[in-house]
Protein backbone atom coordinates (compact mmCIF):
# COMPACT_ATOMS: atom_id res chain seq x y z
CA UNK A 1 0.00 0.00 0.00
CA UNK A 2 1.26 3.41 -0.81
CA UNK A 3 1.56 6.52 1.09
CA UNK A 4 0.61 8.43 -1.96
CA UNK A 5 -1.93 10.88 -3.08
CA UNK A 6 -4.22 8.26 -4.45
CA UNK A 7 -3.35 4.80 -3.39
CA UNK A 8 -4.57 3.24 -0.21
CA UNK A 9 -2.14 2.79 2.52
CA UNK A 10 -2.18 2.40 6.18
CA UNK A 11 -5.10 1.59 8.34
CA UNK A 12 -4.11 3.48 11.41
CA UNK A 13 -3.43 2.32 14.89
CA UNK A 14 -7.06 2.61 15.80
CA UNK A 15 -8.21 -0.03 13.38
CA UNK A 16 -7.22 -2.98 15.46
CA UNK A 17 -9.45 -5.59 13.85
CA UNK A 18 -8.00 -4.84 10.47
CA UNK A 19 -4.49 -4.86 11.84
CA UNK A 20 -5.14 -8.21 13.41
CA UNK A 21 -6.16 -9.48 10.01
CA UNK A 22 -3.02 -8.02 8.50
CA UNK A 23 -0.79 -9.66 11.04
CA UNK A 24 -2.61 -12.90 10.40
CA UNK A 25 -1.90 -12.43 6.73
CA UNK A 26 1.78 -12.72 7.47
CA UNK A 27 4.65 -10.69 6.24
CA UNK A 28 3.23 -9.81 2.87
CA UNK A 29 0.00 -9.15 1.18
CA UNK A 30 -1.46 -6.31 3.18
CA UNK A 31 -3.23 -4.46 0.45
CA UNK A 32 -3.73 -7.49 -1.74
CA UNK A 33 -5.17 -9.22 1.27
CA UNK A 34 -7.70 -6.51 1.91
CA UNK A 35 -8.55 -6.27 -1.75
CA UNK A 36 -9.05 -10.00 -2.09
CA UNK A 37 -11.31 -9.98 0.91
CA UNK A 38 -12.92 -6.81 -0.39
CA UNK A 39 -12.70 -5.53 3.14
CA UNK A 40 -14.07 -2.02 3.14
CA UNK A 41 -11.81 0.68 4.38
CA UNK A 42 -12.68 1.33 7.98
CA UNK A 43 -14.71 4.36 8.85
CA UNK A 44 -12.70 7.22 10.20
CA UNK A 45 -9.73 5.80 8.40
CA UNK A 46 -7.47 8.62 7.41
CA UNK A 47 -5.38 6.21 5.44
CA UNK A 48 -4.07 8.57 2.84
CA UNK A 49 -1.04 10.58 2.27
CA UNK A 50 -2.72 13.55 3.80
CA UNK A 51 -2.93 11.66 7.04
CA UNK A 52 -2.09 14.14 9.74
CA UNK A 53 -1.81 16.80 7.10
CA UNK A 54 -3.62 19.30 9.25
CA UNK A 55 -1.13 18.66 11.99
CA UNK A 56 1.76 18.97 9.60
CA UNK A 57 0.37 22.16 8.15
CA UNK A 58 -0.11 23.63 11.55
CA UNK A 59 3.54 22.98 12.16
CA UNK A 60 4.41 24.92 9.05
CA UNK A 61 7.49 24.24 7.01
CA UNK A 62 10.04 25.14 9.59
CA UNK A 63 11.21 21.68 10.52
CA UNK A 64 14.77 22.74 10.79
CA UNK A 65 15.61 20.49 13.69
CA UNK A 66 17.96 17.59 13.16
CA UNK A 67 18.99 18.72 9.72
CA UNK A 68 22.41 17.43 8.83
CA UNK A 69 25.18 19.79 7.82
CA UNK A 70 25.50 21.27 4.35
CA UNK A 71 21.88 20.82 3.39
CA UNK A 72 21.85 24.48 2.46
CA UNK A 73 24.65 23.95 -0.04
CA UNK A 74 23.89 23.42 -3.71
CA UNK A 75 24.42 20.00 -5.25
CA UNK A 76 27.94 19.00 -6.20
CA UNK A 77 27.97 17.43 -9.64
CA UNK A 78 31.11 15.70 -10.88
CA UNK A 79 31.48 17.00 -14.42
CA UNK A 80 33.88 14.29 -15.54
CA UNK A 81 32.77 12.71 -18.81
CA UNK A 82 31.06 9.35 -18.85
CA UNK A 83 33.51 6.45 -19.02
CA UNK A 84 32.21 5.30 -22.37
CA UNK A 85 29.16 5.10 -24.57
CA UNK A 86 25.88 4.68 -22.75
CA UNK A 87 24.20 1.27 -22.78
CA UNK A 88 21.15 1.18 -25.01
CA UNK A 89 18.40 3.46 -23.77
CA UNK A 90 20.34 4.61 -20.74
CA UNK A 91 21.58 7.99 -19.53
CA UNK A 92 24.75 8.83 -17.65
CA UNK A 93 24.05 9.89 -14.10
CA UNK A 94 27.15 11.63 -12.79
CA UNK A 95 28.38 11.12 -9.27
CA UNK A 96 27.61 13.87 -6.84
CA UNK A 97 26.26 15.11 -3.60
CA UNK A 98 22.87 16.64 -2.84
CA UNK A 99 20.31 17.49 -0.22
CA UNK A 100 17.80 14.65 -0.12
CA UNK A 101 14.23 14.81 1.13
CA UNK A 102 11.79 17.66 1.30
CA UNK A 103 10.21 19.92 3.86
CA UNK A 104 6.81 19.72 2.18
CA UNK A 105 4.46 19.99 5.11
CA UNK A 106 2.15 17.24 3.91
CA UNK A 107 4.88 14.60 3.95
CA UNK A 108 5.85 13.19 7.29
CA UNK A 109 8.48 10.70 6.15
CA UNK A 110 10.66 12.94 3.98
CA UNK A 111 12.32 14.89 6.77
CA UNK A 112 14.84 15.87 7.75
CA UNK A 113 16.55 16.90 4.57
CA UNK A 114 19.93 15.26 4.76
CA UNK A 115 23.10 15.30 2.73
CA UNK A 116 23.72 12.31 0.47
CA UNK A 117 26.55 11.34 -1.88
CA UNK A 118 25.89 8.97 -4.75
CA UNK A 119 28.34 7.23 -7.09
CA UNK A 120 27.87 7.36 -10.84
CA UNK A 121 25.56 4.95 -12.62
CA UNK A 122 23.65 4.44 -15.84
CA UNK A 123 19.88 4.73 -15.71
CA UNK A 124 17.11 3.84 -18.12
CA UNK A 125 15.92 7.04 -19.75
CA UNK A 126 12.38 5.76 -19.55
CA UNK A 127 10.25 3.39 -17.54
CA UNK A 128 10.40 -0.20 -18.79
CA UNK A 129 7.76 -0.53 -21.49
CA UNK A 130 5.30 -3.28 -22.35
CA UNK A 131 7.35 -3.98 -25.45
CA UNK A 132 10.51 -4.46 -23.42
CA UNK A 133 8.84 -6.59 -20.79
CA UNK A 134 7.24 -8.70 -23.49
CA UNK A 135 10.69 -9.55 -24.89
CA UNK A 136 11.74 -10.70 -21.43
CA UNK A 137 8.69 -12.92 -21.07
CA UNK A 138 9.11 -14.36 -24.55
CA UNK A 139 12.74 -15.18 -23.83
CA UNK A 140 12.25 -16.68 -20.40
CA UNK A 141 8.63 -17.77 -20.03
CA UNK A 142 8.47 -15.72 -16.85
CA UNK A 143 5.10 -15.58 -15.10
CA UNK A 144 4.40 -12.53 -12.96
CA UNK A 145 2.94 -12.58 -9.48
CA UNK A 146 -0.40 -11.19 -10.71
CA UNK A 147 -0.73 -14.09 -13.15
CA UNK A 148 -0.41 -16.72 -10.44
CA UNK A 149 -3.13 -18.00 -8.15
CA UNK A 150 -2.59 -16.53 -4.67
CA UNK A 151 -1.56 -19.20 -2.19
CA UNK A 152 -4.06 -19.94 0.55
CA UNK A 153 -1.33 -19.93 3.21
CA UNK A 154 -0.42 -16.36 2.30
CA UNK A 155 -4.02 -15.21 2.58
CA UNK A 156 -5.56 -16.94 5.57
CA UNK A 157 -9.24 -16.30 5.92
CA UNK A 158 -9.82 -15.43 2.29
CA UNK A 159 -12.49 -17.70 0.81
CA UNK A 160 -10.96 -20.15 -1.69
CA UNK A 161 -13.14 -18.86 -4.50
CA UNK A 162 -11.55 -15.46 -4.14
CA UNK A 163 -8.01 -16.80 -4.50
CA UNK A 164 -7.81 -16.11 -8.19
CA UNK A 165 -5.01 -14.55 -10.23
CA UNK A 166 -5.48 -10.85 -10.55
CA UNK A 167 -4.26 -7.45 -9.55
CA UNK A 168 -5.39 -4.10 -8.24
CA UNK A 169 -6.94 -1.69 -10.71
CA UNK A 170 -8.01 1.90 -10.40
CA UNK A 171 -11.75 1.81 -10.96
CA UNK A 172 -13.16 5.31 -10.57
CA UNK A 173 -16.66 5.76 -9.19
CA UNK A 174 -19.32 7.64 -11.15
CA UNK A 175 -19.72 10.34 -8.56
CA UNK A 176 -17.71 12.07 -5.90
CA UNK A 177 -17.04 9.85 -2.91
CA UNK A 178 -15.58 10.43 0.51
CA UNK A 179 -11.84 10.34 0.16
CA UNK A 180 -11.35 8.19 3.23
CA UNK A 181 -12.49 4.97 1.58
CA UNK A 182 -10.02 3.87 -1.04
CA UNK A 183 -12.08 0.80 -1.82
CA UNK A 184 -14.29 3.23 -3.71
CA UNK A 185 -11.68 3.44 -6.43
CA UNK A 186 -9.38 0.45 -6.07
CA UNK A 187 -10.55 -3.05 -6.90
CA UNK A 188 -8.96 -6.45 -7.05
CA UNK A 189 -9.76 -7.46 -10.62
CA UNK A 190 -9.58 -11.10 -11.61
CA UNK A 191 -7.41 -11.53 -14.66
CA UNK A 192 -5.77 -8.12 -14.43
CA UNK A 193 -2.03 -8.34 -15.06
CA UNK A 194 0.62 -6.72 -17.22
CA UNK A 195 -0.97 -8.12 -20.40
CA UNK A 196 -4.43 -6.96 -19.36
CA UNK A 197 -3.97 -3.74 -17.41
CA UNK A 198 -7.66 -3.13 -16.67
CA UNK A 199 -8.72 -6.77 -16.65
CA UNK A 200 -9.33 -9.61 -19.12
CA UNK A 201 -11.12 -7.44 -21.65
CA UNK A 202 -8.25 -5.02 -21.95
CA UNK A 203 -5.01 -5.56 -23.79
CA UNK A 204 -1.81 -3.85 -24.82
CA UNK A 205 -2.79 -2.93 -28.35
CA UNK A 206 -1.43 0.53 -28.99
CA UNK A 207 0.27 0.52 -25.60
CA UNK A 208 3.56 -1.05 -26.64
CA UNK A 209 5.46 2.07 -25.58
CA UNK A 210 3.53 2.56 -22.35
CA UNK A 211 5.17 1.57 -19.08
CA UNK A 212 4.54 -2.01 -18.02
CA UNK A 213 2.31 -2.16 -14.93
CA UNK A 214 1.04 -4.76 -12.44
CA UNK A 215 4.63 -5.57 -11.65
CA UNK A 216 5.48 -6.88 -8.20
CA UNK A 217 8.90 -6.14 -6.75
CA UNK A 218 10.11 -9.66 -7.46
CA UNK A 219 8.91 -9.35 -11.06
CA UNK A 220 10.99 -6.22 -11.51
CA UNK A 221 14.02 -7.96 -10.06
CA UNK A 222 13.55 -10.96 -12.33
CA UNK A 223 13.52 -8.63 -15.31
CA UNK A 224 16.63 -6.88 -14.01
CA UNK A 225 18.49 -10.15 -13.71
CA UNK A 226 17.64 -11.00 -17.31
CA UNK A 227 18.28 -7.54 -18.76
CA UNK A 228 21.46 -6.85 -16.81
CA UNK A 229 20.87 -4.19 -14.25
CA UNK A 230 19.19 -3.61 -10.96
CA UNK A 231 16.57 -1.44 -9.36
CA UNK A 232 17.84 1.97 -8.24
CA UNK A 233 18.22 2.77 -4.60
CA UNK A 234 15.89 5.45 -3.33
CA UNK A 235 18.83 7.85 -3.10
CA UNK A 236 19.90 7.10 -6.67
CA UNK A 237 16.37 7.67 -7.91
CA UNK A 238 16.01 11.00 -6.14
CA UNK A 239 19.46 12.21 -7.21
CA UNK A 240 18.71 11.25 -10.80
CA UNK A 241 15.17 12.66 -10.76
CA UNK A 242 16.34 16.03 -9.46
CA UNK A 243 18.64 16.31 -12.45
CA UNK A 244 21.15 18.45 -10.60
CA UNK A 245 18.61 21.02 -9.40
CA UNK A 246 18.84 22.21 -5.83
CA UNK A 247 15.87 21.23 -3.65
CA UNK A 248 13.33 22.16 -6.31
CA UNK A 249 9.77 20.94 -5.91
CA UNK A 250 9.70 19.28 -9.31
CA UNK A 251 12.30 17.86 -11.69
CA UNK A 252 11.82 20.96 -13.84
CA UNK A 253 11.63 23.71 -11.21
CA UNK A 254 9.33 25.08 -8.55
CA UNK A 255 6.20 25.80 -10.60
CA UNK A 256 3.91 22.91 -11.51
CA UNK A 257 2.79 24.44 -14.82
CA UNK A 258 6.00 26.29 -15.49
CA UNK A 259 5.83 27.95 -18.90
CA UNK A 260 2.07 27.43 -18.84
CA UNK A 261 2.33 23.78 -19.83
CA UNK A 262 2.31 20.37 -18.30
CA UNK A 263 5.59 18.65 -17.55
CA UNK A 264 4.34 15.30 -16.28
CA UNK A 265 1.42 12.92 -16.54
CA UNK A 266 -0.61 13.42 -13.37
CA UNK A 267 -4.32 13.73 -12.53
CA UNK A 268 -6.40 16.85 -13.15
CA UNK A 269 -10.01 17.33 -12.19
CA UNK A 270 -11.77 15.96 -9.15
CA UNK A 271 -10.26 12.83 -7.67
CA UNK A 272 -11.21 10.08 -8.12
CA UNK A 273 -14.38 10.41 -10.16
CA UNK A 274 -13.62 13.11 -12.70
CA UNK A 275 -10.40 13.08 -14.64
CA UNK A 276 -10.42 16.14 -16.86
CA UNK A 277 -7.42 14.91 -18.75
CA UNK A 278 -5.90 18.35 -19.25
CA UNK A 279 -2.41 16.94 -19.69
CA UNK A 280 -3.66 14.71 -22.50
CA UNK A 281 -3.54 11.37 -20.71
CA UNK A 282 -6.29 9.72 -18.69
CA UNK A 283 -4.07 6.84 -17.64
CA UNK A 284 -0.54 5.83 -18.59
CA UNK A 285 1.16 7.79 -21.34
CA UNK A 286 3.72 6.49 -23.80
CA UNK A 287 7.08 6.87 -22.10
CA UNK A 288 8.83 10.09 -23.03
CA UNK A 289 5.63 12.05 -23.72
CA UNK A 290 6.97 14.94 -21.66
CA UNK A 291 10.38 16.54 -21.77
CA UNK A 292 13.39 14.93 -20.11
CA UNK A 293 15.05 16.40 -17.06
CA UNK A 294 18.59 17.74 -17.09
CA UNK A 295 20.08 14.24 -16.82
CA UNK A 296 18.07 13.04 -19.82
CA UNK A 297 15.47 11.07 -17.87
CA UNK A 298 11.80 11.01 -18.82
CA UNK A 299 8.79 10.59 -16.53
CA UNK A 300 10.72 10.67 -13.27
CA UNK A 301 7.60 12.45 -12.05
CA UNK A 302 4.17 11.05 -12.87
CA UNK A 303 3.05 8.36 -15.33
CA UNK A 304 3.74 5.35 -13.07
CA UNK A 305 5.31 4.83 -9.69
CA UNK A 306 8.66 3.07 -9.84
CA UNK A 307 10.08 0.42 -7.57
CA UNK A 308 13.30 1.06 -5.70
CA UNK A 309 15.49 -1.54 -4.06
CA UNK A 310 15.28 -0.15 -0.51
CA UNK A 311 13.13 -1.35 2.31
CA UNK A 312 10.79 1.40 3.48
CA UNK A 313 11.03 2.86 6.95
CA UNK A 314 9.24 6.08 7.78
CA UNK A 315 12.07 7.11 10.12
CA UNK A 316 15.01 6.25 7.86
CA UNK A 317 15.94 9.87 7.10
CA UNK A 318 16.05 10.66 10.79
CA UNK A 319 18.45 7.77 11.25
CA UNK A 320 20.72 9.01 8.47
CA UNK A 321 20.70 12.56 9.77
CA UNK A 322 21.96 11.61 13.20
CA UNK A 323 24.53 9.14 11.92
CA UNK A 324 26.76 11.64 10.23
CA UNK A 325 27.26 14.57 7.97
CA UNK A 326 27.11 12.76 4.68
CA UNK A 327 25.37 9.51 3.81
CA UNK A 328 27.36 7.77 1.07
CA UNK A 329 25.32 5.59 -1.25
CA UNK A 330 22.61 4.87 1.32
CA UNK A 331 20.84 1.67 0.35
CA UNK A 332 17.97 1.77 2.79
CA UNK A 333 17.38 0.32 6.23
CA UNK A 334 17.84 -3.36 7.01
CA UNK A 335 14.18 -3.83 7.75
CA UNK A 336 10.87 -2.19 7.03
CA UNK A 337 8.48 -0.33 9.25
CA UNK A 338 5.46 1.63 8.23
CA UNK A 339 3.67 3.06 11.27
CA UNK A 340 0.50 3.29 9.23
CA UNK A 341 0.54 -0.43 8.65
CA UNK A 342 2.83 -2.26 11.05
CA UNK A 343 3.52 -5.86 10.16
CA UNK A 344 3.52 -5.37 6.42
CA UNK A 345 7.08 -4.94 5.12
CA UNK A 346 7.31 -2.59 2.19
CA UNK A 347 9.74 -1.43 -0.45
CA UNK A 348 10.16 2.18 -1.47
CA UNK A 349 8.53 3.51 -4.60
CA UNK A 350 9.29 6.88 -6.16
CA UNK A 351 8.06 9.24 -8.82
CA UNK A 352 4.29 9.23 -8.45
CA UNK A 353 1.80 8.37 -11.14
CA UNK A 354 -0.96 9.47 -13.48
CA UNK A 355 -3.23 9.37 -10.44
CA UNK A 356 -1.31 11.89 -8.38
CA UNK A 357 -3.27 15.00 -7.61
CA UNK A 358 -2.64 17.95 -5.40
CA UNK A 359 -6.04 17.32 -3.84
CA UNK A 360 -4.25 14.83 -1.63
CA UNK A 361 -0.59 15.43 -1.97
CA UNK A 362 2.15 15.51 -4.45
CA UNK A 363 4.36 12.52 -4.03
CA UNK A 364 5.42 12.75 -7.64
CA UNK A 365 7.81 15.40 -6.38
CA UNK A 366 11.37 14.06 -6.35
CA UNK A 367 11.47 14.46 -2.59
CA UNK A 368 8.27 12.48 -2.11
CA UNK A 369 8.28 8.85 -1.04
CA UNK A 370 5.95 5.98 -1.80
CA UNK A 371 5.83 2.48 -0.37
CA UNK A 372 4.34 -0.81 -1.36
CA UNK A 373 4.24 -4.40 -0.21
CA UNK A 374 6.62 -6.32 -2.50
CA UNK A 375 3.96 -8.76 -3.69
CA UNK A 376 1.65 -6.02 -4.83
CA UNK A 377 1.39 -4.59 -8.30
CA UNK A 378 -1.21 -2.12 -9.48
CA UNK A 379 -2.02 -0.46 -12.77
CA UNK A 380 0.02 2.59 -11.85
CA UNK A 381 3.23 0.98 -10.65
CA UNK A 382 6.18 0.05 -12.86
CA UNK A 383 9.94 0.39 -12.77
CA UNK A 384 13.16 1.24 -14.56
CA UNK A 385 16.68 -0.11 -14.17
CA UNK A 386 20.10 1.24 -13.41
CA UNK A 387 23.52 -0.23 -14.11
CA UNK A 388 26.77 0.23 -12.27
CA UNK A 389 29.66 1.71 -14.19
CA UNK A 390 32.05 -1.08 -13.31
Q: Which residues are near Ca ion by CB under 5 A?
A: 265, 279, 281, 354
Contact status, residue 107 vs residue 90, Cβ threshold 8 Å? no
Closest distance between Ca ion and the C-beta of residue 178, in Å? 23
Nearer to Ca ion, 45 or 279 (CB): 279
Query: In angstroms, what is the minimal distance from the CB of 354 to Ca ion?
Result: 5
Residue 297 Cβ vs Ca ion, minimum distance, rounded to whole Å: 19
Measured from the CB atom, the residue of 96 and 272 that comes closer to Ca ion is 272
Nearer to Ca ion, 147 or 299 (CB): 299
CB of 272 to Ca ion, least distance (A): 13
**Minimal CB distance to Ca ion: which residue?**
281
Q: Where does residue 64 rank: exposed (0-12), middle (13-18), buried (19+ CB within 10 A)?
A: exposed
- Looking at beta carbons only, is 2 or 281 nearer to Ca ion? 281
b/e burial code for range 298-337 (CB count within 10 A of at least 16 → b):
bbbbbbbbbbbbbbbbbebbeebbeeeeebeebebbeebb
Q: Which long-range contacts (CB under 8 A, 24 or more apart) does 154-163 make?
A: 154/25, 154/26, 154/28, 154/29, 154/375, 155/25, 155/29, 155/32, 155/33, 155/36, 156/24, 156/25, 156/26, 157/21, 157/24, 157/25, 157/37, 158/33, 158/36, 158/37, 162/36, 162/37, 162/38, 163/36
Minimum distance of Ca ion from residue 266's CB (angstroms): 6
Between 279 and 338, CB nearer to Ca ion: 279
Least distance from C-beta 281 to Ca ion, angstroms? 4
Closer to Ca ion by Cβ: residue 5 or 279: 279
Amino acid sequence: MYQTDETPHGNGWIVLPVLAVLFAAGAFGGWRYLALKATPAPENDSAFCDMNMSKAKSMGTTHEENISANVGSPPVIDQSPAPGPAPDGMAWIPPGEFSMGTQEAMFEDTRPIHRVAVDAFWMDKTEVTNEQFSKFVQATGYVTVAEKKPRAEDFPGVPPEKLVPGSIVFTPPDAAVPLNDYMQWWSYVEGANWRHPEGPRSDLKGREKHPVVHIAWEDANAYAKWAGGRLPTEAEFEWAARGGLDRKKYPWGDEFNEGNKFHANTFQGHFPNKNTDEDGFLATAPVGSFEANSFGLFDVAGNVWEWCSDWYRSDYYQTLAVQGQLAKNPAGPSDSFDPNEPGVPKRVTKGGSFLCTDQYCSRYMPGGRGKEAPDTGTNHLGFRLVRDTK
